[in-house]
Homo-oligomer: A and B are copies of this chain.
């Protein structure tokens, strides 16, 4: 939710910045930063790409920029005239993907389309969006201040904010007044949102602090009410408020969640070792570092600084011809919106857009083998760029694994003369990443089934963002049936909040030109004498002609199926080839449409949207989200009301969670998961896994206990 960084005031100049290259990383001779791995669990051997990131070349048009390419971009920018006096701060540097047509035409063996980088920089408080053409060695596009917002915050921004804060005398007095030692101080930089003219037109960030005394779980020890608003570019404290008088820092008891710190076993019978075992090895192959092939699926998978994980060119084999068929050109989490429900001075601004403000790839930390991902997982590193333009590696931020959970992919039994007991086990492929955006952990799973279904799951774990209170128990709470935050521990309120994850799903069913068909289930009344039944349902299909016909608010009493179909690709029966999006549990934003956070988060005004494809419309909250006024959101694009029938279109789906915290969420939250599915509908001529093989005893592994 929030990016916290360490501010050890006792070491004035030592700022440990956990989301960016760290002091304990080493820099090798190529000027290339590699994060050190640490911790015993991480010492498990993991499967990795057989690629030397230092020398690798791009092999696919969508492959991320390589070290060589990143260094070339930096060199080109260094000699670019507008930056000749001062090298700007690099806030984002990633592949500027080739046009879709070029990617679709490209085949293995073809030369790659010309490689380009999109670079977003800040110089003297001004934002510049550049395209660097690596073939030409030139900046080919340069737009200054294209919107009200600013790019992702960098390590340096956070460092500046903390330095400015710590040297503020009023801040120092407040810290002393609340009795926290400077050496126990940990400060974070929640983003500032945008709330009208008072703080707009300059990059401000909030600074709030915690005590690390007695626990690494400082999130549970807020120094409530002390908030500094810092202007990053002018290096000044704009405002300091302290509304926390009388609120103690909650104590550290039972907050440490590290295994090594636990003194006794949990109150339960121990669980014997259990593991998904594949002694013949996994069935997936990962070719050229990014192409995943498994069963009837093939897709391109890459880490991304902002999106975390991007799936591209997902294709499934036709169940009759074996030919690969296009399902999805590109799918990724496009933006997160996390509004907290507290209007107080030190809380109102907490309406995070974690992707556009911090980046999911940048905040992803190495996955923990055997715990975050099972055995036989394959790990992929992220290659990102520091604010000085130098590349660095974040190891093992994506894992790919095969999953067998004892589920059934189809079955039928007949206890008749046919004596049928047919059942097929379900094995799937998962691509996973987990971002630790400050306190919260977001786990993203893309799960592929052999029947053509794609399940997108979001899991939430990590720490609550809590609020200090003088109250130790509910008996001291005056209006306990009417709260924005229940008590989750003594002096600790878990503030009610929402999470919305908006996915960009550029479905290309058998080609780019698709239609969005709403199949509405409508009650029909029978006419007198027609039937003993009074009513029944009909499925009424309607293709949306323009974007305004494709803004969907889910309603259990006005249900529809939502199909993406290719109207030019008919099954042998004349049904259009399609996929449908199947919502699971979901939640909608209830904020006032004119509330500043909701204006910026207007992409959550509907659960489903369909827009005409436009390569610049990738980020649902806008390219420049930080402090933006919401003029570049999905809501704004959709209002252009473009034609979407039989066009290249993009489906947007928002997965929402309301979170009313409870004591079980303290001091670390059991994972809460929700998901949605993309499922073939008349895409295949018939059940594509009819001929799947059952499990036979003789095929399964032979296992011994580790200590046998």
Asked if B663 contacts A685 (CB within 8 A), the reply is: yes
Determine if A408 is an interface residue (Cβ-Cβ < 8 Å).
yes
* Residues in B neighbouring A542, C-beta threshold 8 A: 481
28 A-B pairs (CB sep. < 8 Å): A216-B414, A257-B422, A266-B319, A266-B690, A266-B692, A267-B318, A270-B283, A271-B402, A272-B281, A274-B278, A279-B704, A348-B531, A348-B532, A370-B697, A370-B700, A372-B408, A404-B405, A408-B671, A410-B668, A451-B670, A484-B539, A496-B539, A554-B556, A556-B556, A582-B585, A585-B585, A698-B706, A701-B705
Determine if A486 is an interface residue (Cβ-Cβ < 8 Å).
yes
Asked if B556 contacts A586 (CB within 8 A), the reply is: yes
Asked if A575 contacts B487 (CB within 8 A), the reply is: yes
- A6, A557, A571, A701: residue with the most chain B Cβ atoms closer than 10 Å: A701
Please, what's the 1-or-0 string for A244-259, where 1 marks a CB less than 8 Å from any CB in chain B? 0000000000100111
A412-B267 CB under 8 A given contacts A596-B533, A702-B704: no
Determine if A502 is an interface residue (Cβ-Cβ < 8 Å).
no
Determine if A276 is an interface residue (Cβ-Cβ < 8 Å).
yes
Asked if B664 contacts A687 (CB within 8 A), the reply is: yes
* Residues in B neighbouring A670, C-beta threshold 8 A: 409-410, 449, 451, 453, 687, 689
| Count of chain A residues near B, Cβ 8 A | 219
Determine if A637 is an interface residue (Cβ-Cβ < 8 Å).
no
**How many angstroms from the CA of A590 to the CA of B286 in the assembled complex?**
47
* Residues in B neighbouring A423, C-beta threshold 8 A: 367-368, 371-372
Determine if A616 is an interface residue (Cβ-Cβ < 8 Å).
no
Cβ 8 A contact of A521, one of B368, B473, B573, B590: B590
A5-B441 CB under 8 A given contacts A259-B693, A267-B321: no
**How many angstroms from the CA of A531 to the CA of B481 in the assembled complex?**
22
* Residues in B neighbouring A553, C-beta threshold 8 A: 556-557
* Residues in B neighbouring A275, C-beta threshold 8 A: 276-277, 404, 695, 700-701
Given contacts A195-B532, A535-B592, A702-B708, 20 further A-B contacts (CB under 8 A): A269-B283, A280-B705, A367-B423, A370-B700, A371-B424, A375-B700, A411-B434, A411-B671, A473-B572, A474-B574, A482-B541, A484-B538, A486-B575, A523-B592, A556-B556, A561-B658, A561-B660, A667-B690, A668-B687, A703-B703
Asked if A459 contacts B408 (CB within 8 A), the reply is: yes
* Residues in B neighbouring A681, C-beta threshold 8 A: 662, 664
CB distance from A606 to the nearest CB of B (A): 11
Cβ 8 A contact of A18, one of B5, B272, B416, B453: B416
* Residues in B neighbouring A541, C-beta threshold 8 A: 480-482
**How many angstroms from the CA of A195 to the CA of B430 in the assembled complex?**
49
Asked if A663 contacts B575 (CB within 8 A), the reply is: yes
Asked if B343 contacts A588 (CB within 8 A), the reply is: no
**How many angstroms from the CA of A213 to the CA of B348 in the assembled complex?**
70
Asked if A413 contacts B426 (CB within 8 A), the reply is: no
Asked if B293 contacts A282 (CB within 8 A), the reply is: no
Asked if B19 contacts A415 (CB within 8 A), the reply is: yes
**Interface of A (DSSP majority class):** loop
**How many angstroms from the CA of A136 to the CA of B89 in the assembled complex?**
89
* Residues in B neighbouring A519, C-beta threshold 8 A: 660
* Residues in B neighbouring A708, C-beta threshold 8 A: 279, 702
Cβ 8 A contact of A404, one of B276, B416, B473: B276
Cβ 8 A contact of A694, one of B19, B259, B475, B697: B259
Asked if B705 contacts A703 (CB within 8 A), the reply is: no
**Segment among A38-46, A80-88, A327-335, A621-629 that sits at the interface with chain B:** A38-46
CB distance from A335 to the nearest CB of B (A): 20
Determine if A420 is an interface residue (Cβ-Cβ < 8 Å).
yes
Determine if A530 is an interface residue (Cβ-Cβ < 8 Å).
yes
Residue of B nearest to A297 (CB): B268
Cβ 8 A contact of A474, one of B19, B375, B573, B585: B573
Cβ 8 A contact of A296, one of B266, B274, B482: B266
* Residues in B neighbouring A143, C-beta threshold 8 A: none
Asked if B282 contacts A595 (CB within 8 A), the reply is: no
Determine if A403 is an interface residue (Cβ-Cβ < 8 Å).
yes
Determine if A264 is an interface residue (Cβ-Cβ < 8 Å).
yes
Q: Which A residues, 648 to 673, have Cβ-Cβ distances below 8 Å to chain B?
A: 658, 660, 662-671, 673
* Residues in B neighbouring A689, C-beta threshold 8 A: 266, 670
**How many angstroms from the CA of A478 to the CA of B82 in the assembled complex?**
65
CB distance from A459 to the nearest CB of B (A): 6
Asked if A415 contacts B42 (CB within 8 A), the reply is: no
Residue of B nearest to A425 (CB): B371
Asked if A538 contacts B483 (CB within 8 A), the reply is: yes
